[in-house]
Amino acid sequence: MQRKFVTNLALILGLNLLIKPFWILGIDRAVQNVVGMEQYGFYYAIFNFSFLFNIILDLGITNFNNKNISQNNHLLSKHFASIVMLRVLLALVFTLITLAAGWLVKYNADMLKMLAAVIFNQILISFILYLRSNLAGLHLFKTDSIISVLDRFIMIGLCGFLLWKYREPGTFSITWFVYAQTTAYVITTVITLLLLIRKAKVRKFTWRWPFFIIILKKSYPYAILVLLMSFYNRIDGVMLERMLPFREGALEAGIYASAYRLLDASNMIAFLFAGLLLPIFSRMIKLKESIEDMVLLSFSLLVIPAMIVATCCAFFSYEIMDLLYRDGHLSESSAVFRILMFCFVPIATTYIFGTLLTANGNLRQLNIMASTGMAINIIMNLILIPRMHAEGAAISSICTQAFTALAQVLMAWKTFEFRFNTLLFSRVLLFAATCVLINFLISSQQWFWVTRLGFSAALCFLAAFAFRLIRVRNLYRIVRYDET
């Protein structure tokens, strides 16, 4: 199982590292540079607002389905057509509720028009994720890997052409950016749907109300968890735009978005990681296999690199923001970026231990944790945003992420009765201190900053090997030998 995990992880990461960073750091960043902080902040706030209600589209069906299909492959043919029809119904409910909420918070006509387009995109994104959960549940990781980058590949082509033709500031419309995404999502949805119709041998789509009720009863705990986590992950941009005066709120949301972009790119890796781990953990738990080695492997492959990335980005935050953006506000965006990148470590931890607890069905404990995290985030934002603006939202985010990650580690430790490895814990602490020391010494040198950054990262990775947190021998064994 470890060998299968690593080889498929390498494939999905390879494809996504080719496509998605170019999308996030190339196209998405270029759009913000062309339209400006304020206009992009306007879009970013609306996108995050729609995301708050995103759970209505899914109600936990995707996570439930991923776990269920991975343990019972034969259920795909039985359930697929009916779940598709259920999602159509949920999409209608989501549209009405989100538009009504936009009207209640006093969005103007232009904002409501933008919200309607973003709503349609959210429907398509959610549907693609559901379709991909079936591919992952069937362990068709290669097909899932290709589908995971198809929409971004199409968007790069469409937006790249528009940015080339309308590259002067003021000539590119933010709505074109939204509509290009719509086109890419429609094409990806159609291709994936046709593929799964053939796999599931679907002849017709039917309304089965008793089945809808049964599925919703089983999936609602997943829905509550995703809803709560969406709130504390996405509400920062919305609160910035709504709590501050109109133009100032849009500008601060834009500054926050510019700093969040690299964290979002980093999270892409962790999200893909979790997508592979959920069906693997689910199957291992069902077969009563030991999961401790898989957890340690995941920790070394995800959390240790996350610590390196976060530390290096924090020490070179101003230079990175200066490289990426041309709309001023560098001191503000770099300060926010410095804080936000440290969120990557607890987020990476969450993607391992939260996924493990989800696979084991510990939804009640996870929901209590997430509701507490949401309360912490909202209260801190209410206090800090009026005083510190985007930087206050970043502080709220790191505190929330650290709390939720620690809570999940403790829950997993208690649930699975993991042994406390004092030696490993000590090595991780020493490694973290070493990363800080390396970056402190290298960043003060007079070399070109890209050289300093690369040298710091290389030394940090060498330190990870020296502390035996990443072991080449173990990775080689996993890739070289079949499962026994």
The string of pLDDT tens digits covering residues 12-26 is 667 667 777 778 777
Q: Is residue 413 part of a domain?
A: yes
Q: What percent of the chain has pLDDT over 70?
A: 82
Containing structural domain, residue 140: 2-418
- Confidence class for position 478, pLDDT limits 50, 70, 90: very low
Q: What does the alpha-carbon distance between residue 341 and residue 267 come to, in Å, rounded to a whole number?
A: 10
Which distant-in-sequence residues (6+ apart) come within 8 Å of 108 by Cβ? none
pLDDT in tens, 326-356: 766 788 889 999 999 999 999 999 989 988 9
CB burial readout 272-281, b (16+ within 10 A) else e? bbbbbbbbbb
For residue 72, the model assigns a pLDDT of 59
**Alpha helices, DSSP H, located in 53-173:** 55-58, 61-71, 75-104, 109-137, 141-165
* Cα Rg of the chain, angstroms: 22
337 residue type, one letter: F
For residue 99, the model assigns a pLDDT of 93
Q: Is residue 24 part of a domain?
A: yes
Supply angle C-alpha 8, 14, 16, rounded to 5: 105
- Confidence class for position 484, pLDDT limits 50, 70, 90: very low
Answer yes or no: is pLDDT of 41 > 90.
no
CB burial readout 380-418, b (16+ within 10 A) else e? bbeebbeebbbbbbbbbbbbbbbbbbebbbebbeeebee
Answer yes or no: is pLDDT of 316 > 90.
yes
Q: Is residue 430 part of a domain?
A: no
Answer yes or no: is pLDDT of 250 > 60.
yes
Q: Give the C-alpha distances (Å, rounded to integers) separating 100 from 47, 94, 239.
A: 15, 10, 18
Give the global pTM.
Answer: 0.71
Using CB atoms within 10 Å of the CB of residue 247, give its burial: 0 to 12 exposed, 13 to 18 middle, 19+ buried: exposed
Q: Is residue 203 part of a domain?
A: yes
Q: What does the alpha-carbon distance between residue 153 and residue 22 come to, in Å, rounded to a whole number?
A: 9
Q: What does the alpha-carbon distance between residue 82 and residue 80 come to, in Å, rounded to a whole number?
A: 6
Q: Is residue 457 part of a domain?
A: no
Q: Is residue 424 part of a domain?
A: no
Identify the DSSP state of 233: H
Measuring CA to CA, which residue among 197, 173, 194, 196 is closest to residue 114? 173
For residue 1, the model assigns a pLDDT of 52
Coil vs helix vs strand at 418: coil
Which is higher by pLDDT, 11 or 285?
285
Q: Is residue 285 part of a domain?
A: yes
- Confidence class for position 477, pLDDT limits 50, 70, 90: very low
Q: What does the alpha-carbon distance between residue 433 and residue 436 come to, in Å, rounded to a whole number?
A: 5
Coil vs helix vs strand at 126: helix
Answer yes or no: is pLDDT of 180 > 70.
yes
Which distant-in-sequence residues (6+ apart) come within 8 Å of 28 by Cβ? 261
Angle of helix 246-286 relative to helix 109-137, nearest 10 degrees, comes to 10
Q: Give the C-alpha distances (Å, rounded to integers) separating 451 from 318, 323, 455.
A: 15, 14, 6
Average pLDDT for 380-391: 92
Q: What's the domain count of the chain?
A: 1
Answer yes or no: is pLDDT of 423 > 70.
yes
Q: Is residue 429 part of a domain?
A: no
